[in-house]
Structure 1
Amino acid sequence: MRLGILISMLVVVVFAAVVTTGTVTQVVTDQQDAQARGITNASCDAAIGPTQPGEPDKGAADAGNLNQEQQQIVQLIIAIGKERRLSGRAWQVAIQAGMTESGLRNLTYGDRDSLGIFQMRPSMGWGTVSEVTNPPYQINKFFDVLLAVPGWEKRRPGEAAQAVERSAFPDRYHKWEPMAATLVESLGQVANPVSCGTGLGALLPPSEAAGVAIQFALGEQGKPYVWGATGPNSYDCSGLMLRAYEKAGITLPRVSRDQYKAGAMLPVRDAQPGDMIFLATDPSDPTTIHHVAMYLGAGKIVEAQQTGVPVHTRAFSFDESEVVPQAVRPGV
């Protein structure tokens, strides 16, 4: 804990000046800067966004509520992640796991023989009691296991955390995504927690197929909404997406929850014309997705919304309460 003690003064100052104000210090602005700092970049197609649309202050508020012990552990996670040249996404996974398992505290108790920040169990081979209550050991061990998970960097951070922890409650890690991303941005001094720099849309440019899909969807305006319908005379929300992209030569799954997995994911605020936008009862939980629409740019979408409302375009805001943090670009 000597490292944690040494940085405690710095942590308090940083949290007061950065996190509680919600200000993000942009230090890493592109892949070249990240590489210069020795930080490995992750791929750009992961389901990760720096904020929760509809709750733009949630991450900063949760981060601002952390006490000194929790702050020290976050700083230690980031310091070890940087020392090992791991991406910001790896730090975020560890922060979400630690917050979920122990509230980012080095506990000396837990379920059965679970101990420490990540509730590691000596009986399950995580290490000795002394080791799994030693913060640097725990964090390094967590990163070791995370790196051994196939494709972890392409999973949503909460899913990657679950792959390490193997909890009986796999969805609970998503709750802390906005907070962890805020901490990676501010304390980790990473401008974009996706860890692939700014301008994500430029890395995944709109395709000719997107133009064809948009033209088709706009041409279906006025046709009635019918639940389960896939055209040509009526549509539901996913049925409209299905036929629009079918016209462009791209096959999508039938329902919106599956369409969420059918393409490249990117932060929803970086959506470009043709990308699919999703609404969910709980935006942090993709299993609650109940609607999909096509983004047209300039704050507009085209959609088959609900019974009694024909296919139409409407004004759209990323701050709508049910907006899922990721958009999907089909065919990429």
Structure 2
Amino acid sequence: MKKWLIAGVLLTWLGLPLAGVLIATAASADGICVPGGPADQVEGIDLDAEQLASAQLIVGVVRDRDLPSQAAVIALATAMQESSLRNLPNLGERNDHDSIGLFQQRVSIYGAATAGDPVKSTTAFLDRLIQIDRWQHRPLTEVAAEVQRPREDLRGEYAKWERLAQTLTDRFWPGVIVGACVSGVGDLAAMGGGIPEGYRLPTETQARTAVVFALEQLGEPYVFGANGPEAWDCSSLMQKSWAAAGVAIPRVTRDQVRIGVSVPGPSAMRPGDLIFIPGSGGSMSQPGHVGMYIGLGGDGQGHLVQAPHTGDVVKVTPLSAWAGQIAAIRRPAVAS
């Protein structure tokens, strides 16, 4: 159910206009369409949808701060060394002290709300970076280590990611061709999977991209722990859908329920919002299942897309089916 088109648009991302950006999509059965194109090799390194989305987010934050591109190179190399460009939660016994997020920042120093949020953690890294004397002209690994303060034997490790970081910066800086998933489908209801008659895609760019990615997976099987592209669980579908829109969110439901902005109730929801219910193994205080609100059908009723459970497939479900079960609604941090 993968249908693609190519379109030129005026895209606003992280508050900055990207005039004349070419939205290029790939119809590869092997790749996942993300900002920057399908998951692919960059400088000989395999990067998936989440990693490419994180890279684009970091570059966007740097641009939003009106900082030179070298800041993006340093930040990307640092995040690659610290987390492999993944917004990591606390890994329990495998965790390094209380470090989380893209930059593995200490919760005891930065706070969980900053360290675990891709935009806020990038901003915090940049705040410290630009306080370093001559940061633009000193060796990358030297200034990265001054911000991160790793063990002495790890201070030189950031250098090995400099070439990759430069290539990613060149790829996502203004004026280069970047990719995003845009659906070329006509009659959405004819796609099946529960899409209601009269449904229209959202108009906001990032929400539309996230919703389209999720709907493109209709009919794919639920497999616990699967990360796509041919099978999903509930939270991996949400993560990759928002990654396609350039927003990195955590992998699992228990972490996704803490990101972004809290939405007070169903009446305030917008397409792309994440809806959490207890599911089979959770509770109202610790929900175990998540779906994405996609908007209203022609009958005025709300609908969501979800990967339900083993034995089922990605499908659209009436919001009314979750009545009385909603534990939380979160809106990922997107450009305003």
- Taking structure 1 as the reference length, the TM-score comes to 0.40
Indicate the structure whose relative CO is greater, using CA pairs within 8 Å and at least 6 residues apart. Answer: 1
Greater C-alpha radius of gyration: 1
Bigger proportion of residues as strand: 2
Bigger proportion of residues as helix: 1
- Taking structure 2 as the reference length, the TM-score comes to 0.39
